[in-house]
Chains A and B, each alone.
Chain A
């Protein structure tokens, strides 16, 4: 089996790494004096190379996204020979799909321009299929034929007129500044501003259409900028909406989901659906916050569900939520009355059952009527008949699978629960850290080891939690045994560390405690989590095969 080979290769590789790590920590840790012991203890030896379980990703600030956007716009405007603002509208209309835009535009330039809201439809040369969002033409009686190379008027030029013009929206005759798109629907600056603000702020819309009824022209960016005048906040929001639109349609980009974070992450490795079956793209955005904004590029389930892949994490959660397990329980713990089909749970007593509902008397073992049992009181001698054996087998199989599920689920739920309590542990630890600073001569920086340890515990619990989902779906094999050995080691280390953190502090013991906690943290960091997740990543291939088989067997859709 070739995958076997790969795995052991990686394994050997891993042990090498570990040895190095061990040595380096021992060197660090061998410094006997407390004073020399500082944050270095916790530094994970930095490796330039990415680890196997990490995905390559690049955090982008909004300005960087805008740069990508304008690169696309410049590209298109260069090819078509149109102005940048026109190219931007075309791209937004085509959802940033350059190839499709080029194809369509080469095919029918005027049709695309009309559909994108750049030019007005000329009376005759319009193929209805490309008309897109174009609305009724009733209001555009003054429509000039939309010149293909004529972009929308860039600046809302105030048009002085001799006869007084009253804006048809506000009927305010004191207004003096008017502007119009290339459709000649003229409105006052105040209405344009109110309209654009309401579209951007209230509706989150980046396509600002002409206010006239039935007019499908879209205001170019420069027009919006002028309309918004001094309202820079709304202008910024407008740019954010544009960037979001761009990001939404680019599969290798994703917005950081944390509230009010404006960063974007580029992760080309996880752009395709198929890549999500072999890697868990846990990424973090570039915002300089602590803790960093970590999230999964592939799914919104949890920030870090390593080592299971997105599809499996989703499947596991669905399984936990489903009441399919309730049905499973009913199946393995109850039987149905042969006469009235009521569901009966036998919770004690002998095999002579009397249905509460229909008073039917039957034998729990063979399900036959009790009257046939004659004098064989309380021991059914019909037990070994074939039908009885089959029924019993089916039931015990179902019971075993339920137990298996519950085994993993309980552990999974346990870690979930502990993770929820970690907030509490955090505040408790903070208090302890303060206490330590007061009662001993340790400085603030020297007691940070507690916090580090809490962070590490939290991370490990998250991973441990998902390893149980993983082992539920793993087929029994040597790999699985290895996996579960690791899982056990990590679990033990985490529980030990947890216990140390929870234990009350004694004056004299602080330095010992510190030594211990540090050791444990390092142990978890180096032995446990990282290696562990990586090993798991090596298992994913195997795991996917199993999954596919499972799914095809149960007729589930691939995830």
Chain B
């Protein structure tokens, strides 16, 4: 299938294989053009030193015009980071995944952004409305309309 999304993802995958991921990010699985997994850790001094998280990317046919659905994987082995913009079900409130998405961004650009989001965190805490959100959250974080109210972290 030569849709834009497949061609674009193949190109990104080739780049990742050729040049490698940015520091601290590893490709775990990219068997198809629908769901990719990455491991992510923050290098250097930070609150999350030594912790490894797993990211899931889900692409639809409109990628890269529409943003991918990105979330931290939460299961019995691995948890989402405790961060004011990350809900305990792994959903991430980041403007780059919503209104500020631009088609020129790529998978590795998202990884780097999330890495710096973790690195700049000053307190390990859940978002204030975590319980309320997690109770009613849709499966796909793209269905949520986040309010991006704090761009310092």
Contacts and interface: CB of A to CB of B under 8 A. Distances in A.
Interface of A: 135, 139, 168-172, 185, 187, 190-191, 194-195, 198, 202, 211-215
Interface string B108-136: 01000000000000000000000000000
Task: Please classify the interface of chain A as helix (H, G, I), strand (E, B), loop, or mixed, using the class held by over half of its residues.
Answer: loop
Contact of B65 (A185, A191, A214): A191
Task: Please classify the interface of chain B as helix (H, G, I), strand (E, B), loop, or mixed, using the class held by over half of its residues.
Answer: loop
A173 to B, nearest CB: 10
Given A169-B64, A171-B11, A202-B66, A195 B4 contact: no
B102 A214 contact: yes
A172 B4 contact: yes
A212 B102 contact: yes
B135 to A, nearest CB: 25
A172 B65 contact: no
A98 B83 CA distance: 44
Given A191-B4, A194-B4, A169 B62 contact: no
Nearest to A213: B102
Given A170-B64, A211-B102, A213-B104, 5 more contacts: A139-B104, A171-B7, A190-B4, A194-B65, A202-B66
B129 to A, nearest CB: 24
Contacts of B104: 139, 168-169, 185, 211-213
A169, A194, A212 — most chain B CB neighbours (10 Å):
A169
B26 interface: no
A352 B102 CA distance: 78
B105 interface: yes
B103 A191 contact: yes
Contacts of B65: 169, 191, 194-195, 198
Contacts, number: 44
Nearest to B3: A170
A190 B5 CA distance: 13
Contact of B8 (A135, A169, A187, A211): A169
Contacts of A215: 102
Contacts of A191: 4, 65, 103
Contacts of B7: 170-172
A263 B24 CA distance: 57
Contacts of B103: 169, 187, 191, 195, 211
A537 B4 CA distance: 63
A170 B62 CA distance: 11
A135 B100 contact: yes
Contacts of B11: 171
Interface string B59-87: 00010111000000000000000000000
Interface string B1-16: 0001001100100000
Contacts of B62: 194, 198
Nearest to B2: A172
A484 to B, nearest CB: 49
Contact of A170 (B4, B102, B105): B4
27 contacts: A135-B100, A139-B104, A168-B104, A169-B4, A169-B8, A169-B65, A169-B103, A170-B4, A171-B7, A171-B11, A172-B4, A185-B104, A190-B4, A191-B103, A194-B65, A195-B103, A198-B62, A198-B65, A198-B66, A202-B66, A211-B102, A211-B103, A211-B104, A212-B104, A213-B104, A213-B109, A215-B102
Nearest to B10: A171
Nearest to A166: B11
Contacts of A170: 4, 7-8, 64
A213 B11 CA distance: 19
A191 B104 CA distance: 11
Contacts of B4: 169-170, 172, 190-191, 194
Interface in B89-112: 100, 102-105, 109
B145 to A, nearest CB: 11
Interface string B35-58: 000000000000000000000000
Contacts of A194: 4, 62, 65
A139, A171, A190, A198 — most chain B CB neighbours (10 Å):
A171
A214 B101 CA distance: 9
